[in-house]
Structure 1
Amino acid sequence: MLRTSWNDGWQFGPLVSVHEAIRVAAPSENVVTLPHDALLADGRAAEGSGGPQNGYFLGGRWSYEKQFDAPEVWERTRVAVQFEGVYRDATVYVNGAFAGQWANGYSGFLVDITPFLNFGQSNTIRVDAQAGDDSRWYSGGGIYRPVHLIVGDLVRVVPQTLRISTPDLDSDLATVITRAEIVNDEPITRTLDVRVDITDGDGVAVAGERGRITLRSGETLPVQLRAYIREPRLWDLDTPNLYTATITVSHDDDVLDADHTTFGVRSLSVDPVRGLRLNGRTVKLRGAAVHHDNGILGAAEFADAALRRAVKLKAAGFNAVRSSHNPLSVAMLDACDRLGLLVMDEAFDMWTVPKSGDDYSRRFPEWWERDIDALVAKDFNHPSVIIYSIGNEIIEAGTTHGARWGRLLAERVRALDPTRITTHALQGMYIARDKIPELRAEVDSDSTVIKGLNDYLGQVTQLMERVMASDLVGERLLEPASTLDVVGLNYGDSRYAVDRTDFPNRVYFGSESFPTRIDEIWRIVTDNDNVLGDFTWTGWDFLGEVGTGRHVYPEDAQVHRAPYPWIAAVCGDIDLIGDRKPMSFYREVVFGLTDVPYVAARLPRADRFVIEPKAWTWSDVTPSWTWETAEETPIHVEAYSTGDEVAFILNGEEVSRGPVGQKRPFLIETEIPYRVGTLEAVAYRNGTELARNILATAGAASHIRIDADSDELRGGSGGLVHLEISLVDESGVRCFGPDTQLEVSLTGPAVLQGLGSANPVTEDDFRSSETMTYRGRALAVIRGTGAAGPITVTVHAVGYPDTIVSLAATGDSARS
């Protein structure tokens, strides 16, 4: 089959009634290149929008149209369009005729457009979509993931049926089973030769097999071939080796069709004694739950954006990603395959009971099987995927009928893919929702006085722990847990010890947890073989659910969801543009991945109010030693270390030393008089220095530094280069302030796809060429047009010399 990128030249506009117009826009107007986030383009408002849950973005209904030629040679082919994701309720028309639809906004789907084509003429495809009052977070909208055109022979491999498994393997030999469906749409019976060739990451042939299949007219049958790789290179976290399998269908040496896929050779098992084992080695999941948006790019998904996210997540110490709460993109799966990140891919955030006014629950009873099928078809050949999740915090999960739905879902997954683990992210607050008032009264009766939102979140943490450990939840967990291979619990670590005796064969993991409790949780994970790991909420900050982890002081509104113009949740270890926050460094220390101490500070308030880490909110500290305050002002300083002691050295003089872990494991706090210069944190263990870290006072910001993740723009119109922008002084030290307005311009075959900062309280338009830095940082994303040539990007700010970056667009075709 011929599979090509089909992302260029789409006309875009609001969906209008056929009584008003057929065409969305004139041929030269509103032309966009996919992926495209329609919701991002529609803007935000305090009133009449989706509210705090979706970042105050306005909902909408949109149409995309594309004109294309269908050559006469296509008359003896089958033509389909593959959509990786359209949010949501996608309806596809070809030349005005209904051709297909898909309800779920996160599933990939295929539409056969052959019956509707006018061969030898120009044709029009239209895709309608909508979003609004249907999501608990920023969903994006429109055709936000790539689109492909597939043209196949009448005798062909059925798209998305090529599947590779490796059921038997050791260091000497790996059995590789290749399975695919072949269809014969010719009017005669055909006997066909089928061949499978396997190559390694260097393109060297390592195995192969051939067979034969006979198909009657109109018949579709599976073909399965076994091949054997000698001395296989296993796919693992540190050595993510990949192979490519190519299946070819031919007759008398005439190739009729071919398809290919990458895959990895690895084994996977789980039990309560040895835990999760990858290639026979126990692995604890250091997990990050992530939503699907790309910050300033909105929901639009690109291979380069996904790869950048995966690189930064792994560099921060994570070895696993949970898609929250919808199927992960193909681009992100490819990145995880390539880098060695494990994936828990999640199907649904709701089943039959809604969480929003017009969400997927209305479509679930009719569509769930097709969505599960699409999930497994997408994931099957990705070695990174180890767990399927059938749902997140499903409201009806603790009821008998809800548990029955869970069984149907789990069995559907197992029937399609018995090689992986099935789970469900269960939440006690939903399972016991009818008893919450009673349980809350117990917590209220023995809690301290609630002085504000920070104290309230602490009480919520206690309530969740008590609910999850209750006998009621234990009883109601029995049926839904029994449908699963492993049990995922959101904020449910208090359940592990309770069930250790009654359910010694039950295997758990934390599918979602408070980031501020990682020190306690990780001790539980490492001490219990039947607890596989933990996924924090969240690994990367996201749009919507605004203000979840924000710092709330007495003068601020004491509400959980923040008011407009808040745009982000601010509960991620990594912020909207990819910078690690202090919580991330604390987590890395807890995981035992570094002995280098992390040091940060905060300016004390006149009222000496301190925000203690609770729920999703970490302490309000910054890795800076540049403060607008008088010298000798006491500054709160904290360091995170695996050592047992940390010394603080100010301008060469030791000014403080103390033990680690008195208040919280791996933490030491102190007050140090502010003096311009350098502050070092030196970690010790048993009197021996482990490592040290330093903060330096920044001078006045003097220039703009740009760090590009590549100097080449590849991948055609889907390729990206990320430019990380920093305000720095003459020595290159980052300046956290004052912030300044930036303007980005460019020349050459590229466009500015996105520009913005990690500021969670902003009215900046990420599609604009101007933005304000936030704590001295911003991000510009450059996208290719498909043409080759030099690109010049200029960043301008008043009072700074222009900074210019030169890139080269290679003009290679877009990834497909």
Structure 2
Amino acid sequence: MQFAHAAPRERLSLDAGWRFLRGDVPLPAIQGHGASYLNAKAGEAQGPANADYDDSDWRRVDLPHDWAVEGPFDAAQNKSQGYRPRGIGWYRRYFTLPASDRGRHIELQFDGVATHSTVWVNGIVVNRNWSGYNGRYIDITPYMRYGAEPNTIAVRVDAEVMEGWWYEGAGIYRHTWLVKRDAMHIATDGIHANPVRKDGRWTLPVTVDVDSSADSARKARLEVSLLDPAGHEVAHAGAPVQVDALGKASARLALAIRNPQPWTLARPALYRVRAVLRDATGELDRDETHTGFRTIRFDADRGFFLNGQPLKLQGVAIHQDHAGVGVAVPDAIWEFRLRQLKSMGVNAVRFAHNAPAAEVLDSADRIGLLVMDENRNFNTSPDYMQQLTWLVKRDRNRPSVILWSIFNEETLQGTEVGYEMARRMVGAIKQLDTTRPVTAAMHGGLFAARSAVQALDVAGINYQVWEYDRFHKMFPHKPVFSSEDTSAFMSRGEYTTDQDKHLVASYDDDAAQWGQTQRGSWKQISARPFLAGSFAWTGLDYRGEPTPHEWPSAGSFFGIMDLCALPKNAYWFRQALWLKDRTVVKVMPHWNWAGKEGQPVKVRVATNAPRVRLVLNGAVIGEQNVDPFDMATFQVPYAPGRLEAVALKDGAEVGRDQVETSGAPARLVLAPDRPALAGDGADAVPVTVSAVDAQGRPVPDANLHVTFDLAGPGAIIGVGNGDPNSHESEKAPERNLYNGLAQVIVQSRRAGQGPLILRAHADGLQSAALALDVRAVAPIPAVAEAEPLVRPAPWRTSPPQADRPDPNRVLADNDMNTWGWGEPPLKQAPDALPWRSYRVAFGLRSDRNDGQARLVMREIAGKAEVWLDGDKLGEKTAYEPGPLTLALPRGPGWRTLTVLVQAQPGQPSGITGDVTIEPHTP
């Protein structure tokens, strides 16, 4: 069989143009045989799942979208979810496909929906999912309509259910895609290319999975190329592949690589693996993934090795919400968060406790961060094993990923059941990837007779500092690391702990009863060479799980940075502990203490220098040797002016930091993370808002109210200030500064270009204005938005009869066979009996029920009478095939349309063209 030359693969964004309804839609009880009969048929979903449901008054939203962050704080809601209402929501989207797409494979991809969700396409249920963290690839080829008639996607999201004990958001909060490929194509996540080094030589084994939705077996050839970071091809191989109709096949190749550039934390060199599928007609499909050449090894005595060199994991655990946007975090804001972490000295990130978005791991690969890739649900039933294997298949090429984690703190971890479940999950991972060890984060059960730890390659210990040495002694051949520790508390910019006001001082003296301070936890890790490193809880604050305080606190105090990714003092402590290539010195607190003149103020200096000198207004007030973990603390009688910390080594100055008493706030300052945005409708930039005095000095205790306005090709999509006690709206164009700082997130518009002007205003202060350059870029390939088409269906067709039928004849509810079923065109062959009835009952959208809409029947063969709800609407008086358009009066939402057709003797008859309800066009 010959096939036409294939169109190139298209991966098209479906993020724009959704209709959203917050809340569920109660459905009428299904009563009677007819309703029951139709309810059980494909394409006849009820309510908002139906392709023709009236969503004309739904809100328009673009994805990613988190509706929970838009809601109010409510003390009656679950504290673990940040006191935000969640509930149920519906989304709908319309799109068309050209006739040229017929025969291609069409896949719908959801990257993340919180939490449980069901997807319908054209009224047919196509997918149900039980996790908010896994992506889905849904083959919707069989359900597609081509040409002018739109396809309908409907998604019901149940966010009442929870998977975690932290803020999880609500809605379609990651990207959505439509992928078009040839019927014979490379499967999604179908390229496995993980470099292997043996005997000093590198090889790249490549496996490519090929699927086919064609109606017969097909042969093709697969060509695989490796491109270096500059884009030059450095290796190539090919192999034949044959796939049966609706079948799958795999091709396996191996590429020899000489002297590849290594992927390191400082220079994360990324190679691209390109797979191209061709047959005699030309290229059928192509896909790419990236990979990196690096080795990893966990040693039971000496910890972790990257590229053969020992490396202590200086890690943090983080959740996925950010100020202003909830869990619907733009890709650029994710990259900002990871860059902030790396600047602190972080070299590893644990995405707790779930799979992150693919774009986040793209950033980790690019930036040079190691990743502990964690599965959400500890469960070996098929639904949940599918989530695990999806994670591994998606991420197994990534150089950043060094560990698979199968669970966090499970009650079954120290039982035989836990061991058996862990053993099966480890086995499933090993079938897909043998190059990375498998771990889990355990907070108990380590020494049970039967325990999950016995099934793991590497042991992860949460908080049980007292068990480090015992574990190493009892399991001398099992590598081990701290999968979670610290749990220290801090309120950014606060220096007095006040339990009544829910404030925690920023000196790093406060930690949970199960945890340690920032400095104390790392002291335990660094003292033990056998520990591969640790992941501090947490790199950033997060909503939900409010600790150590509950209402009105709505988020955690654990973060080394706050919810805006603005540094707390913990950031500087970690820099001093972790950075070896430069001097760190940070003096704290600020120096605005009016009313405390002469009273002692606790001053702490975070530094990695061996000695520090403290200077107040030019006078030396103290000098100390620096403990590498406790660092240096002074008691200083307060006097306004300048306080300086001078870092010393061998008596010479190697660094300096200062704080200075400021005056009253005089003007606002806007500082963007970067000066320009891509005008693609997706790029976003965080802007830090602060206040300075008349001399331009920061005012660290300013807590004034600021309003914002924006002009140009963009929008404000969220605001925040890092205060876990704040109940201000995160979507309003206003925010209080919290201890001198706030954040505004601005996002470009699609096809945007030109200056984007953000202004900030506060009573009595000089306003600030910031111009961001929105640069014209190629648009993100996307599926065009379509408007709904009201196309009444399904139609019933009576048998032919000699006499004119009664247009109001009642058809028995349980008669499913006397009258036929179908959709126009309904063309009848010439018959001796001239009359037939055609009937359809349909819901009418409110935007077509305004008395201005038209019933458009593009062709009727024969004379015809048209009846609507028992009243004659119009007629066609000629036998010859032709159109009929009639005004549609306002009426009930549910209509019954009957068409009586009289055939011309010896000629075909019927409703031979499409029938639609169209809005009035002036």
TM-score, length-scaled by structure 1: 0.85
Aligned CA distance change for structure 1 residues 715 and 45 (closer, same or farther; 3 Å): same
**In percent, how many aligned pairs have the same letter?**
29
Alignment equivalent of 2:719, drawn from 732, 755, 767: 755
1:475 aligns with 2:439: no
Give the Cα separation in 2 of the matches to 1:636 and 1:574. 22
Q: Deviations over 1:514-538 (max 9, x none)?
A: 1444444434433433210011010
1:725 aligns with 2:689: yes
Q: Secondary structure at the match of 2:328?
A: coil
Cα contact 1:24–1:64 (8 A) shared by 2: no
Give the Cα separation in 2 of the matches to 1:650 and 1:788. 51
Letter in 2 for 1:161: G
Aligned CA distance change for structure 1 residues 329 and 400 (closer, same or farther; 3 Å): same
Letter in 1 for 2:470: V
Letter in 2 for 1:420: R
Letter in 2 for 1:114: T
Once the two structures are TM-superposed, the CA of residue 277 in structure 1 deviates from its matched residue by 1.4
Q: Deviations over 1:179-216 (max 9, x none)?
A: 11112333333221211122222222222222222233
Q: Deviations over 1:250-303 (max 9, x none)?
A: 112611111111211111222223422111111110000001112321001321
Once the two structures are TM-superposed, the CA of residue 488 in structure 1 deviates from its matched residue by 0.3
Q: Secondary structure at the match of 2:363?
A: helix
Cα contact 1:271–1:507 (8 A) shared by 2: yes
Once the two structures are TM-superposed, the CA of residue 653 in structure 1 deviates from its matched residue by 0.3
Give the Cα separation in 2 of the matches to 1:630 and 1:523. 35
Aligned CA distance change for structure 1 residues 25 and 423 (closer, same or farther; 3 Å): farther
Please name the residue that 2:231 is paired with.
203
Give the Cα separation in 2 of the matches to 1:53 and 1:211. 53
Please name the residue that 2:182 is paired with.
153
Please name the residue that 2:556 is paired with.
569
Please name the residue that 2:531 is paired with.
531
Please name the residue that 1:17 is paired with.
26
1:140 aligns with 2:128: no
Once the two structures are TM-superposed, the CA of residue 29 in structure 1 deviates from its matched residue by 4.5
Letter in 2 for 1:40: V
Once the two structures are TM-superposed, the CA of residue 17 in structure 1 deviates from its matched residue by 2.8
1:338 aligns with 2:373: no
Give the Cα separation in 2 of the matches to 1:42 and 1:578. 22
Q: Secondary structure at the match of 2:556?
A: coil
Give the Cα separation in 2 of the matches to 1:7 and 1:773. 32
Give the Cα separation in 2 of the matches to 1:724 and 1:563. 27
Please name the residue that 1:78 is paired with.
105
Alignment of 1:52-451 (within 5 A): 52-120=79-147, 121-132=149-160, 134=162, 135-168=164-197, 174-252=202-280, 254-348=282-376, 350-351=377-378, 365-428=381-444, 431=445
Aligned CA distance change for structure 1 residues 788 and 170 (closer, same or farther; 3 Å): farther
Aligned CA distance change for structure 1 residues 543 and 815 (closer, same or farther; 3 Å): farther
Question: Whose Rg is larger?
Answer: 2
Q: Secondary structure at the match of 2:246?
A: coil
Alignment equivalent of 1:588, drawn from 571, 575, 593: 575
Please name the residue that 1:484 is paired with.
456
Letter in 2 for 1:573: I
- Say which structure is richer in helix: 1
Q: Secondary structure at the match of 1:402?
A: helix
Cα contact 2:107–2:139 (8 A) shared by 1: yes
Letter in 1 for 2:630: F
Cα contact 1:302–1:331 (8 A) shared by 2: no
Please name the residue that 1:6 is paired with.
14
Give the Cα separation in 1 of the matches to 2:778 and 2:544. 35
Cα contact 2:238–2:253 (8 A) shared by 1: yes
Please name the residue that 1:657 is paired with.
623
Give the Cα separation in 2 of the matches to 1:170 and 1:108. 38
Cα contact 1:717–1:784 (8 A) shared by 2: yes
1:495 aligns with 2:467: yes
Letter in 2 for 1:794: R
Give the Cα separation in 1 of the matches to 2:330 and 2:619. 49
Aligned CA distance change for structure 1 residues 301 and 71 (closer, same or farther; 3 Å): same
Q: Secondary structure at the match of 1:56?
A: coil
Give the Cα separation in 2 of the matches to 1:260 and 1:244. 7
Of 280-289 and 126-135, the range deviating more from structure 2: 126-135
Of 642-651 and 116-125, the range deviating more from structure 2: 642-651
Letter in 1 for 2:64: P
Q: Secondary structure at the match of 1:309?
A: helix
Give the Cα separation in 2 of the matches to 1:236 and 1:702. 46
Please name the residue that 1:798 is paired with.
763
Letter in 1 for 2:675: D
Alignment of 1:658-673 (within 5 A): 658-661=624-627, 665-673=629-637
Please name the residue that 1:541 is paired with.
541
Of 785-794 and 516-525, the range deviating more from structure 2: 516-525
Of 483-492 and 652-661, the range deviating more from structure 2: 652-661
Give the Cα separation in 1 of the matches to 2:473 and 2:194. 36
Give the Cα separation in 1 of the matches to 2:479 and 2:12. 43
Q: Deviations over 1:677-718 (max 9, x none)?
A: 110112334544332211111222222111112232226222
Give the Cα separation in 2 of the matches to 1:303 and 1:178. 29
Aligned CA distance change for structure 1 residues 674 and 528 (closer, same or farther; 3 Å): closer
TM-score, length-scaled by structure 2: 0.75
1:678 aligns with 2:642: yes
Of 524-533 and 747-756, the range deviating more from structure 2: 524-533
Letter in 1 for 2:25: V
Once the two structures are TM-superposed, the CA of residue 596 in structure 1 deviates from its matched residue by 2.7
Give the Cα separation in 2 of the matches to 1:660 and 1:231. 44
Once the two structures are TM-superposed, the CA of residue 26 in structure 1 deviates from its matched residue by 4.3
Q: Kindly tell me the number of residue pairs found equivalent between the two proteins.
A: 720
Give the Cα separation in 2 of the matches to 1:639 and 1:699. 24
Once the two structures are TM-superposed, the CA of residue 248 in structure 1 deviates from its matched residue by 0.6
Give the Cα separation in 2 of the matches to 1:779 and 1:24. 40
Please name the residue that 1:457 is paired with.
none
Aligned CA distance change for structure 1 residues 525 and 635 (closer, same or farther; 3 Å): closer
Give the Cα separation in 1 of the matches to 2:320 and 2:781. 20
Give the Cα separation in 1 of the matches to 2:781 and 2:401. 22
